[in-house]
Amino acid sequence: MGLLIRNARILTLAGDARPRRGPALRELGVIEHGDVRVDEGKIAAVGPKLDAPEGTEVIEANGRVLMPGFIDCHTHACWAGDRLDECEQRLRGVPHREILQAGGGMQATVRAVRAETKKQLAADLKPRLDALLREGTTTVEIKSGYGLTIEDELKMLRAIVRAGHEWPGTIVPTALLGSAFEGSLEDHTRMVVKEMLPEVSREFPDITVDAICERDAWPVEACVRLFEKARKYHPLRVHADQFSSLGMVPEAIRLGVRSVDHLEASTKADLLQLASARTCGVILPCTGFETNQRYARAGFFVDAGGAVALATDCNPGTALTHSLPFAIALAVRCCGLTPAEAIAACTVNAATVLDLRDRGTIEAGQRADLILLRHRDERLLACELGGNPVDLVVCGGKRIA
């Protein structure tokens, strides 16, 4: 049975340019009073006063905002255990690096992930996916990275894929092979490049490979070594400049990395260089909110012509949130984006980061991932704090809630 959503304020974000840059980021392609018809999982038509074929379910929007489903293009949503003690420590003012040196942070999650089975990890992930969907996220990227051994990294990726089979939205797995390390950095890097990467490539031949470039993770040289080998077969992404600017941005551009994520500590020179490159910048303001109140200068980046995307960074330690509306509110308040730019950043531009051209806009032929807000003005996504702004989710053409 098809769907027809009537009398909506439609944010189509229609257009051929992907990713959006500069003034194009603010063009939401608004249809003030329009209808969207959905058939067989895809958008069949967009326009005023569309006919409803017999048997079509009609949903009255009454002027509320209808927009593409959110696309969360950077998360670590697959984990085990919790890090609530660490949260309390941060609230008492304990520095993040001190928590890491005491065995907390990512290493605590590594221990918990290793103790669980693939089935348990997938079961842990399910309620997080349901929470994402309730707040309008219909496509989510999920990284491995908490295993560190070949066996445990593969277990995480298999759990992520398994959870995707049981969820109505779309999960895009990413192999975060360069995160922390055990033993000597040289030995661990060699193992990842020579042993882990081939195993991941064999089972997940098209998966994106990621790494964290930071003082307490992998240095630039180790990331480059991994990427030089991985780029022969895989798309690449990298975490860079969250706490320290180590020089990864120019290397990422040289290597053709799809996105550089975080950028809180990036220099103006690096942001300008990234803005002129094909590589996207992904900002993660929920992490800055939780850790050190440091945020990426996204407004400066956009004004320089950069292609920006926005994500939650959902993880158990430094961004315990599933809410892209909250990320939008932070991006506008703390990163210098306009509400329209933030909306484009977590729809059409986030789809570009994940190389998904069938979503992120409301156009005929696109996958029917839609959200109907309780608002009649999309700027409330940025200006309102707290509460769920989503009244209705349509995912793959099916009404979810």
Domain spans, the chain: 3-68+359-399, 71-353
Which pair of structure tokens corresponds to residue 199? Answer: 């195993």
Q: What is the DSSP letter of 146?
A: S
Residue 252 has pLDDT above 70, yes or no: yes
pLDDT tens-digit readout, 308-321: 999 999 999 999 99
pLDDT band at 144 (very low <50, low <70, confident <90, very high): very high
Alpha-carbon distance 295 to 348, whole Å?
Answer: 22
Domains 3-68+359-399 and 71-353 share a fold: no
How far apart, in whole angstroms, are the C-alpha atoms of residue 388 and residue 29? 24
> What pLDDT digit, counting tens, does each position of 377-395 carry?
999 999 999 899 999 999 9
Best CATH choice for the domain 3-68+359-399 from the list 2.30.40.10, 2.60.120.10, 3.40.50.80, 3.30.310.50: 2.30.40.10
Radius of gyration for the chain, computed over Cα atoms and rounded to the nearest angstrom: 21
Give the pLDDT score at 94: 83
Mean pLDDT of the chain: 96
Tell me the average pLDDT across 330-353. Answer: 98
Confidence of residue 97 (pLDDT cuts 50, 70, 90): confident
- Tokens for 9? 């304020």
Q: What is the mean pLDDT of residues 139-151?
A: 98
How would residue 91 be classed by pLDDT, with cut points 50, 70 and 90?
A: confident
pTM: predicted TM-score of the whole model, two decimal places: 0.97
Quickly count: other Cβ atoms within 10 Å of residue 118's Cβ.
Answer: 17
Higher per-residue confidence, 93 vs 327: 327
Q: Report the b/e string of 52-72 with b at 16+ CB within 10 A.
A: eeeebeebebeebbbbbbbbb
In 28-178, DSSP assigns E strands to 30-39, 42-47, 57-60, 65-68, 70-72, 137-143, 170-178
What residue type is assigned to position 287 of the chain?
T
Among the residue ranges 30-34, 107-111, 112-116, the one predicted with the least confidence is 107-111
Residue 180 has pLDDT above 90, yes or no: yes
- Asked if omega into 19 is within 30° of 0 (cis), the reply is yes
Task: Give the β-pairing of 308-310 and 370-373.
Answer: unpaired
The answer on pLDDT for 102 being more than 80 is no
Token representation of residue 162:
């398994």
Structure-token pair, residue 44 = 């069949």
Mean pLDDT of 112-127: 97
Instruction: Provide the pLDDT for residue 401.
Output: 67
Second CATH level (architecture) for the domain 71-353: Alpha-Beta Barrel (3.20)
- The answer on pLDDT for 343 being more than 70 is yes
How much is the pLDDT for 67? 99
